[in-house]
């Protein structure tokens, strides 16, 4: 059997390569690193997390929590590595980013049916089965070829941003404390309080700080789920207090009261030596990041080991281009997977790589596809990105709004969401294992 070409060794590409290989399909995995990197890449490993180290909520009352559990039950490589290298983050699944990527890299490179080919891919292969998982940071050369592959459709982009990292030893713990919001789970976050006066000064300087140049950047192009903190601040003086600096559920042990505002830091590695500023994605100039973020009392002497960066994310107008299996409608031998399809988020990207690979493997083996129903998170996400009735297509995280309602009333939003998750997992568990 000719190997399937998988382009890109990010989360979607590695998941796709692994699932194909596990089903006896040989894979040729192409990755441009380490020969070529984008400004957002820092590691040579596969599955690099270029933004946050959090895979978000791990609770079944949250749609991404359901998606994670579905992928666990379906044998996802990415979820296995995430669970093995998780760091405590309350009700979220956060990982030691370096250990996580290292584990993915070893698993993929050691698989006997996966051949890794280093170097940039600049063309979509003219023959054979292909999964393009080149990610939101697709190189310019390949991006141009993808545009040419869809001459009559839109090829879109928005801008994404990553948060800075600081060392734990440089955080002034006399001005901060460990806790999780509403005391959920274990006290895994460092909470850095600000008084109203301190917040006013911080907000004023944040709004006035100089941004790094990003060609074509406009506020309207910023994806709402990953908005730069300075863009958010300019939308109103209280906006941050209802967003990343929300003090609700966080009582300062020194006063017994909620502060005016709180900046949270989340562990970024297993040792707890590095923390990231939660919700502080930014594209400020690096000296400005140091100057403004050091106005937070607990971070006055903070040592920044990585500053926030801004980069372009590229995605397809998928409802016009792809079907529910992430196949190209006019040429189904080619599939796309990952954030380039318009699924937003690490777990969603993984899910797209999983589904594209499972469908392709079954097709190559002469079997019908597995139609994950819309009641499951995996199925709902695939049906959303292929739904031609979606006019103004925008990148989106998985959510319960794209999953059909229960058909009966359940009191309370969390209880309703938990019931939606229970239904999805029951459906998944009834699928024939031989089909998967």
Where in the chain are the domains?
Answer: 4-158+313-435, 165-308
Confidence of residue 389 (pLDDT cuts 50, 70, 90): confident
Q: Residue 177 is inside which H or E element, if any?
A: strand 177-179
The length of the chain is: 436
102 marked among binding-site residues: no
d(CA 384, CA 403): 10
The answer to whether 185 is a known ligand-binding residue is no
Structure confidence by residue, pLDDT tens digits, 299-315? 999 999 888 887 777 88
Note the pLDDT tens digit of each residue in 68-124: 999 999 999 999 999 999 998 888 999 999 999 999 999 999 999 999 999 999 999
Give the pTM: 0.78
pLDDT at 134 over 60: yes
Query: Which pLDDT band, with edges at 50, 70 and 90, does 217 fall under?
Result: very low
279 assigned ligand-binding residue: no
Model pLDDT, residue 275 = 93
Contact yes or no for 79/56 (Cβ under 8 A): no
- 27-to-16, 30, 117, 266, 287 alpha-carbon distances in Å: 9, 10, 10, 37, 45
Establish whether 179 is an annotated binding residue: no
Measured CA to CA, the distance from residue 359 to residue 370 in angstroms comes to 7
Greater model confidence, 381 or 274: 381
165-308 belongs to which CATH class? mainly beta
Of 279, 264, 194, 266, the residue nearest 228 (C-alpha)? 279
On the 0-12 / 13-18 / 19+ scale of CB atoms within 10 A, 10 is buried
Task: Select 4-158+313-435's CATH number: 3.40.50.150, 1.10.10.60, 3.50.50.60, 3.90.180.10.
Answer: 3.50.50.60
- Determine if residue 141 is labeled as part of a ligand binding site: no
């Amino acid at each position: 059997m000719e190997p399937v070409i998988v382009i890109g060794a990010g989360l979607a590409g590695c998941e796709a390569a692994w699932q194909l290989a596990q089903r006896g399909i040989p894979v040729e995995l192409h990755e441009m690193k380490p020969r070529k990197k984008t400004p957002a890449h820092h590691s040579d490993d596969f599955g690099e997390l270029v933004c946050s180290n959090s895979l978000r909520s791990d609770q079944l009352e949250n749609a991404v929590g359901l998606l994670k559990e579905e992928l666990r039950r379906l044998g996802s490589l990415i979820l296995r590595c995430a669970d093995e290298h998780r760091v405590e983050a309350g009700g979220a699944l956060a990982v030691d980013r370096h250990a996580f990527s290292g584990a993915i890299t070893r698993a993929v490179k050691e698989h006997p049916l996966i051949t890794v080919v280093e170097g940039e891919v600049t063309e979509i292969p003219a023959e054979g089965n292909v999964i393009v998982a080149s990610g939101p940071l697709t190189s310019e050369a390949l991006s141009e070829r993808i545009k040419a592959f869809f001459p009559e459709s839109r090829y879109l982009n928005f801008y994404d941003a990553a948060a800075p990292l600081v060392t734990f030893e440089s955080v002034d713990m006399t001005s901060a404390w460990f806790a999780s919001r509403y005391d959920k789970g274990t006290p895994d976050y460092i909470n850095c309080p600000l008084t109203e006066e301190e917040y006013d000064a911080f907000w004023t300087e944040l709004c006035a700080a100089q941004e790094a140049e990003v060609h074509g950047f406009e506020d309207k192009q910023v994806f709402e789920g990953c908005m730069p903190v300075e863009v958010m601040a300019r939308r109103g003086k209280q906006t941050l207090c209802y967003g990343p600096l929300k003090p609700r559920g966080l009582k300062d042990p020194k006063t017994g009261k909620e502060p005016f505002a709180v900046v949270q830091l989340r562990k970024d590695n297993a040792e707890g030596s590095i923390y990231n500023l939660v919700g502080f994605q930014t594209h400020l100039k690096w000296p400005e990041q140091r100057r403004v973020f050091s106005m937070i009392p607990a971070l006055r002497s903070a040592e920044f080991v990585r500053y926030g960066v801004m980069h372009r994310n590229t995605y397809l107008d998928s409802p016009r281009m792809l079907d529910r299996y992430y196949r190209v409608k006019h040429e189904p031998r080619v599939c796309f997977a990952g954030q380039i399809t318009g699924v937003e988020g690490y777990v969603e990207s993984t899910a797209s790589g999983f589904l594209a690979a499972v469908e392709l493997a079954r097709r190559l083996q002469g079997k019908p596809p597995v139609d994950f129903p819309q009641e499951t998170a995996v199925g709902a996400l695939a049906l959303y990105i292929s739904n031609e009735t979606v006019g103004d297509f925008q990148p989106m995280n998985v959510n319960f709004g794209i999953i059909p309602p229960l058909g009966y009333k359940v009191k309370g939003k969390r209880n309703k969401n938990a019931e939606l998750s229970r239904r999805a997992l029951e459906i998944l568990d009834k699928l024939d294992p031989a089909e998967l």
